[in-house]
Structure formats: C-alpha cells, structure tokens
C-alpha cells in the first residue's frame, strides 16, 4: 500500500502557505478544510492551499509537493488515528468514531492518488519516492 508524505525542495512553501507543513509529515488532500468556504471567494494563501496544497497531518500545514511511499498496515492505521484525532480537536467532529469514518474516506482518496497509472495534471504535485 502507498500513502503520501510531504517534502520540501526549497523554502517556497513557507512563503506560499500559512502554515507550511514540515517535510516528512503524512499528508492527505485536505479539501475538507474548505468544506464551509465559498471557494470562489478564497484569496491569497488560503486560495493557494485549496488549489495546490496537501495537508500535513501533524502541523495541519500545507505542502506543494508530496512523495508516494510504501507503507505497512500499521502505518495506515497510525495515519487514520492521527487524522481522526485532528478532526475531533480542530474540525468539530462530534466524536472519534465519526471522525474515524471521515478519516477512512480521506485516506482512501490519498491512496487512490498514489495508485494512478501515470502522472497527470490532476496529480502533478505528487512525486514518486526516489531511491538511489
């Protein structure tokens, strides 16, 4: 199985996003952050996050680039647990069980991004893991 981790090739994310994710965080699309926003009215850093950011799960910061990495089932469960906890603490989920259901959907979407057969414009910010 594959999931997404944030990467930073240069300091530009620190200028583009508020806040910027730290390199190496587990990441999801983060579109849910904007569920109650009129996306046509987004400006500046919020608009950049909506249009081109991936949400880091620890900092709740944004990253332009993510890396596709192989993970274990234990890693997937840890990502689900972290996202569910963040949904309760910061996004108003009523309880951990409800948050866990939402986290399952968000992580499933992240997995689907990792499993695209070839790069496309829709996933241009997703980079495969590199190893020498």
Asked if the peptide bond before residue 19 counts as cis, ω within 30 degrees of 0, the response is yes
Nearest residue to 89 (alpha-carbon basis) of 57, 63, 111: 57
Q: Phi/psi at 108 (nearest 5 deg)? A: -60, -40
- Asked whether the beta carbons of 56 and 62 are under 8 A apart, the reply is yes
Average pLDDT, the chain: 88
- Residues 18-53 pLDDT 10s: 999 999 999 999 999 998 888 889 999 999 998 889
How many CA atoms does the CB half-sphere of 3 hold within 13 Å?
24
Tokens 């070839």 belong to 118
Domain spans of the chain, in order of start: 2-128
Q: pTM of this prediction?
A: 0.86
For the chain, 132 residues long, give each residue's pLDDT as a single digit of tens.
999 999 998 999 999 999 999 999 999 999 999 988 888 899 999 999 988 899 999 999 999 999 999 999 999 999 999 999 999 999 999 999 999 999 999 999 999 999 876 554 334 455 555 444
């Amino acid at each position: 199985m594959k999931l997404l981790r944030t990467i930073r090739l240069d300091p530009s994310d620190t200028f583009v996003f508020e806040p910027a994710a730290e390199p190496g965080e587990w990441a999801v699309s983060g579109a849910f952050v904007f569920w109650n926003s009129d996306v046509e009215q987004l400006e500046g850093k919020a608009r950049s996050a909506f249009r081109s950011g991936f949400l880091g799960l620890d900092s709740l910061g944004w990253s332009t680039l993510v890396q596709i990495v192989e993970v274990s089932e234990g890693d997937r469960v840890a990502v689900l647990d972290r996202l569910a906890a963040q949904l309760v603490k910061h996004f108003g989920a009523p309880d951990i069980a409800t948050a866990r259901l939402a986290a399952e959907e968000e992580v499933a979407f992240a997995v689907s991004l990792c499993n695209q057969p070839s790069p496309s414009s829709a996933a241009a910010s997703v980079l495969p893991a590199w190893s020498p």
